[in-house]
Chains A and B, each alone.
Chain A
């Protein structure tokens, strides 16, 4: 049962000459090489570097917030600026750090895992990346505009974001439009690649979980990014053209904004976690040296989560005055999501059961993901209980919940993925000792930052306020210390990645001895062009 599949030999003709394709056509050098590239690996790298940059910018904004909250009272920043920081932190982390990181990983690894030579639409791929720097340059430029940056929270509820918003809101809308187009084009590309460019013989149910979760995520993106585009367009018209979509004075309805926003927003949170499930589902089998337990149930669980995500949006709105029937419906449908998610956690644990586990850095992050994401899942269940949510609503408990699913959830999975695939990208193993330090500093920092927020929230500390009552002082001091620790330890991450790019222990093609997916059949570092002749992929009979 737990035997490894037989070792396979890869004999496609041009492995040894791969990477020499540059000889065949004149490639632009220097900066233009990166601006004009249509290579999925280079674009993947661009995405990842962009995401890391945004992660630090958004992180600095978070540290401004935490520094202000270190003590009660106003010390460092004014409330107006504090509001801009919370807003920009959320927007940058969601749209600038987490989503592009997953798209970058998809660019790098989806073609390698399905045996495709590149993405299906390479030039579109280049365009969707280069939209991002434009979008976020626009968004960041609002910080120096008169009236300041957007200050209404990343959820930009109308009419706070329309009638009462700073003039820079129009730039924010344009920036979201551009980032949205980028995500949509990226999603189209990923769908076209996965559905059409799989190696001959690879059925959908042979794909790795990472490819599967990304396929489903891409469909979610196609379905909900247009709704976000529609909502911000309505905002734009309310602000500039005198319409009243969200203005009660003109016959509109502010509550409708929340319905439309969360119809996008809830699937959006799964867009940020489904690829993480996929990453963890490829890493755990590798380092447990067992096949993934319950492959088919993982696929179906992912699909069920995606479908259910369209039916739960109003659990963000329990306090707006929904009728009882709606509260009950959204409460139960939200709780239902715990079932497929539980299937996943169960499958990961069962994969680990009696495995030959080793604790490489990628595995450490993946295991931390399973434990800490589950904590975030459980606090989500608590928030799903509509009558209890009236107490938790807009408190730090909510902040603790979504940071537990996004930081040790999405972000840890991205770091796990980077440690897992760095040998394939660079040809070197990341420095073992330093990456262990990075892991332990991160995990301590994350828990110091976010665990006390549960208690502060349950005790009634409201979110998005720059000051707080004295009884929350200790929790906040611990959170701030943890935040600076977590932030500083990410500098170590950059050092590790740079060191790994520049040198280190050489990695063979199959960098991890439990790695059985197609990417481990190409040399390390992966040459610029791989699978130019599709590998013949034939699944073995079931045991």
Chain B
């Protein structure tokens, strides 16, 4: 870094408050406009990150989400050379007085083969309510290769007091599932949907409380 000298600058006939700031107002304005543009861009970017995050996760399957619409069966022969253990975990969240159970805790499948598992929803409370089972797959690289032909998780479930409901999950692990994946865990968490649904839900249910 260079050393420096400071010299006097004769401001000439300028009044004492006629400062550099006045001469440079247009430049300052340009800088401010540029920073404001960046600012608005970054604020928009923060919101754009939400759909970008979803797309990114969908393409890469990184956060273990599965698609929320039914997929078609891929015609594949079962790869009998390997067996993958498919585990099911079910739980209820946020104090929702519901129970979700699968008829089988784990099932051993060959990649390519399609399998059907039944889940039972029970509303343990004395009020009708609406809930949805949200899936999550672990390890996340398996989520791209788990195809759901039918699933209760595509829609909300409405249950009256004490009511039970059995629904199937039909899935297929495709043969492209990486070799190193020996166990796939599918977790269903029940979330209350009353607040989400409140705008559209029908009058019959509006008398009910819910969590």
Q: Which residue on B lies nearest to A124, using beta carbons?
A: B32
Task: Tell me whether B5 and A248 are in contact (CB under 8 A).
Answer: no
From the candidates A14, A249, A263, A322, name the one contacting B192 in the complex (CB within 8 A).
Answer: A249
Q: Does A120 sit within 8 A of B, measured CB to CB? A: yes
Q: Does A412 sit within 8 A of B, measured CB to CB? A: no
A interface footprint on B50-80 (CB within 8 Å = 1, 0 otherwise): 1001000100001111001000000000000
Task: Tell me whether B38 and A323 are in contact (CB under 8 A).
Answer: no
Q: How many residues of A contact B (CB 8 A)?
A: 75
Task: Tell me whether A222 and B38 are in contact (CB under 8 A).
Answer: yes
Q: Which residue on B lies nearest to A5, using beta carbons?
A: B3
Q: Does A295 sit within 8 A of B, measured CB to CB? A: yes
Task: Tell me whether A249 and B134 are in contact (CB under 8 A).
Answer: yes
Q: Does A539 sit within 8 A of B, measured CB to CB? A: yes
Chain B interface main SS type: mixed
Which residues of the partner chain B approach A10 to less than 8 Å between Cβ atoms? 6, 8
Q: Does A91 sit within 8 A of B, measured CB to CB? A: no
Given A24-B16, A260-B49: A539 touches B31 (CB 8 Å cut-off): no
Task: Tell me whether B196 and A196 are in contact (CB under 8 A).
Answer: no
Which residues of the partner chain A approach B9 to less than 8 Å between Cβ atoms? 12, 200, 533-536
Task: Tell me whether A118 and B21 are in contact (CB under 8 A).
Answer: yes
CA distance A116 to B21 in the complex (A): 8
A interface footprint on B17-58 (CB within 8 Å = 1, 0 otherwise): 101110010011001100110111011011101100100010
Q: Which of B87-144 contact A (CB under 8 A)?
A: 93-94, 132, 134, 138, 140-141
Nearest-neighbour CB distance to chain B for A277, whole angstroms, equals: 16
Task: Tell me whether B16 and A540 are in contact (CB under 8 A).
Answer: no
Q: Does A206 sit within 8 A of B, measured CB to CB? A: yes
Nearest-neighbour CB distance to chain B for A361, whole angstroms, equals: 26
Which residues of the partner chain A approach B65 to less than 8 Å between Cβ atoms? 253
Q: Does A336 sit within 8 A of B, measured CB to CB? A: no
A interface footprint on B182-211 (CB within 8 Å = 1, 0 otherwise): 000000010111011011000000000000
Task: Tell me whether B20 and A184 are in contact (CB under 8 A).
Answer: no
Q: Which residue on B lies nearest to A12, using beta carbons?
A: B8
Task: Tell me whether A249 and B31 are in contact (CB under 8 A).
Answer: no
CA distance A322 to B68 in the complex (A): 22
Which residues of the partner chain B approach A537 to less than 8 Å between Cβ atoms? 4-6
Nearest-neighbour CB distance to chain B for A291, whole angstroms, equals: 6
Task: Tell me whether B39 and A226 are in contact (CB under 8 A).
Answer: yes
Q: Which of B20, B53, B191 has the most CB of A within 10 A?
A: B20
Which residues of the partner chain B approach A326 to less than 8 Å between Cβ atoms? 62
Q: Does A328 sit within 8 A of B, measured CB to CB? A: no
Q: Which residue on B lies nearest to A253, using beta carbons?
A: B63
Task: Tell me whether B53 and A259 are in contact (CB under 8 A).
Answer: yes
Which residues of the partner chain B approach A229 to less than 8 Å between Cβ atoms? 43, 46
CA distance A533 to B140 in the complex (A): 64
Show the binding face of A for B, using Cβ within 8 Å. Answer: 4-6, 8-14, 21, 24, 115-118, 120-121, 163, 184, 187-188, 191-192, 195-197, 200, 205-206, 222-224, 226-227, 229-231, 234, 242, 244-245, 247-251, 253, 255-256, 259-260, 263, 291-292, 295-296, 321-323, 326, 516, 518, 521, 532-542
Show the binding face of B for A, using Cβ within 8 Å. Answer: 1-11, 14, 16-17, 19-21, 24, 27-28, 31-32, 35-36, 38-40, 42-43, 45-47, 49-50, 53, 57, 62-65, 68, 93-94, 132, 134, 138, 140-141, 189, 191-193, 195-196, 198-199
